[in-house]
Structure 1
Amino acid sequence: MTAHISNYFSSLRNAQRDSLASRNQCALIPFVVAGDPDLETTAEVLRVLDFNGADLIELGFPYSDPLADGPVIQAAANRALQRGTKLEQVLEVVQATSPSLKAPLILFTYYNPILNQGIEQFLNKIAIAGIRGLIVPDMPLEEANELLEPAAAMGIEVALLVSPTSSKERIKAIAHSSQGFIYLVSVTGVTGMRSHISADVKDLLMQIRTVTDKPIGIGFGVSEPEQARQLRDWGADAVIVGSAFVRRLATGTPTQGLQAVGELCRNLKAAITTTEAKYASP
């Protein structure tokens, strides 16, 4: 049984509860889309990521109207949906795979599938399967307690998102309610690979630090080892990388995609855990 998200981060910190980055450590959270290119590959890519250094793994449930996702992840979700990928199938893969993984699994899903299932029923299903965390990008903060409270009762931690446009008051409210860690969105807009990370992210990270000691993971736009290392140096507790993994997994045969994913995972992990690592982007 994998650890809960908050317990996992706590185990990486010392008794003084300092940030991972202050000790030259940073967690890696890769993201992949369930069912792309197929569910058999999804099971295998979870094992590949776990073996090659992922500290936690974010698994995206394909949705027909992914407002927060860029073109790479949208295309992957569309392919998965065209193959008929259903929640029950995804959870079967998770239940069969999660016991062998060290990395806790976080499910990324939009709010509508949760409401369609019913909050209690949805949470019960994913908890039984072995999901330990949940990210719902379009869930209004004002409605968050409807999900947060029953999720906590079932051992699932819901990480809330802070965006560059969040007000100081909203950041404080999000930081107070977020479970496991806080997801800091590095850009305004959708996910996707970008050539650089704005220095404004560092300022926003420091602002969040003034209101909470919870771990902070940064995602959206991170694709290269150099970018991941920069975020670690700025003070991130975790770096979340999505489109770069999704694109590699979709390139060539499934075997070639898995090899490319493993290589990227190793390079990213080396970049955020060593001080003078020499690495090259695959």
Structure 2
Amino acid sequence: MKQLNPYLTGGITPDWTDYLLAYQEAGADAVEIGLPFSDPMMDGATIQQASDQALRRGVTIDSILADLVAVRAHVRIPLIAMTYANLVFRDGPETFCRRLAGAGISGLIVPDVPVDEAGRLEAAATAAGIDLILLAAPVTAPDRLAEIGRRSRGFVYAVSVMDTTGERDALAATAAPLARRLREVTELPVLIGFGISTPGQAAAAARAGDGVVIASALMRRVLEGASPDDLRAEVAGFRAALDQVDQEMPVARAHPEVSGYRR
């Protein structure tokens, strides 16, 4: 089954966990929660604006994790934190990963920690029961791609385009070739992200990989004032598009069950 991982900036609104629960009700397989950072190098204008809005509200990692603890009994799907190395290494990856695990988070994406510098973070994540999810780009060399496929946990994040996050008019031409290359070197699900903006684009990406990450298109709607019910409908549209792909495709390849990142 094709996986749907929508993104949500932690603390973007006072009721931000209502969006999380709406995503879950709409059929998300996991939710990627952005921990706001003042200098998000891989994020485009929309995610930067979402992070700025959260930071202006006084949001901190502690407050986001406390909010997650408050709704933990209602969350049935995996939660994945996405943030930057500065926040991870400020108090040390060991402490950081333990804090995530204590709030019910089971996955972590840190895009500015390359695979050849990830040893300490990898060990800390493993010790805390956190899956460290690694990213691959269209220009990643074959040997490095294989190492990413071997060392990633949960899934491999295929960055569809050499650019920051943001909505686009069409799925990048580099997305499908990258997904194919990754699927040759790993049995983990390969999820495609960056620039997937419509259900049609999500379906195209899912035909090449094993699922998608949707971020800027959803955060733009929240920034515009859309309610959790509105976002439930948005995510349900993406879910329906991926389910249609499942019906079209003869037999999906088998994946190991990894930390519940499957419906």
TM-score relative to the length of structure 1: 0.85
- One-letter code aligned to 2:215: G
In the TM superposition, what are the counterparts of 1:155-234 in structure 2 within 5 Å?
Answer: 155-234=129-208
Distance 2:185 2:245 in 1: 29
Report the more deviating stretch, 98-107 or 214-223. Answer: 98-107
- Residue 275 of structure 1 deviates from its aligned partner by 4.9
Distance 1:145 1:98 in 2: 30
- Residue 59 of structure 1 deviates from its aligned partner by 0.3
Does residue 1:257 correspond to 2:257, yes or no? no
Identity, in percent, stands at 36
- Deviation string 1:180-230 (CA, Å, 9 cap, x unpaired) is 110000011100000111333211211111111111111000010000111
- Deviation string 1:56-90 (CA, Å, 9 cap, x unpaired) is 00000000000000100000101111111111100
Q: CA RMSD in A?
A: 1.4
Does structure 2 retain, via aligned residues, the 8 Å contact 1:68–1:189? yes
Distance 1:198 1:52 in 2: 26
- Residue 257 of structure 1 deviates from its aligned partner by 2.6
Task: Determine helix, strand or coil for the equivalent of 1:274.
Answer: helix
Does structure 2 retain, via aligned residues, the 8 Å contact 1:250–1:257? no
TM-score relative to the length of structure 2: 0.91
Q: Between Structure 1 and Structure 2, how many residues are aligned? A: 247
Query: Which residue does 1:11 correspond to in 2?
Result: none
Specify which of 28, 32, 48 is matched with residue 8 of structure 2.
32
Structure 2: gaps of 5 or more residues: 248-263
- One-letter code aligned to 1:220: F
Structure 1: gaps of 5 or more residues: 1-24, 278-282
Query: Which residue does 1:242 correspond to in 2?
Result: 215
Task: Determine helix, strand or coil for the equivalent of 2:171.
Answer: coil
In the TM superposition, what are the counterparts of 1:1-282 in structure 2 within 5 Å?
Answer: 25-38=1-14, 41-234=15-208, 236-252=209-225, 256-275=226-245
- Residue 101 of structure 1 deviates from its aligned partner by 1.4
Distance 2:4 2:154 in 1: 15
Does structure 1 retain, via aligned residues, the 8 Å contact 2:40–2:48? yes
Distance 2:125 2:5 in 1: 21
- One-letter code aligned to 2:137: S
Does structure 2 retain, via aligned residues, the 8 Å contact 1:98–1:105? no
Does structure 1 retain, via aligned residues, the 8 Å contact 2:79–2:105? yes
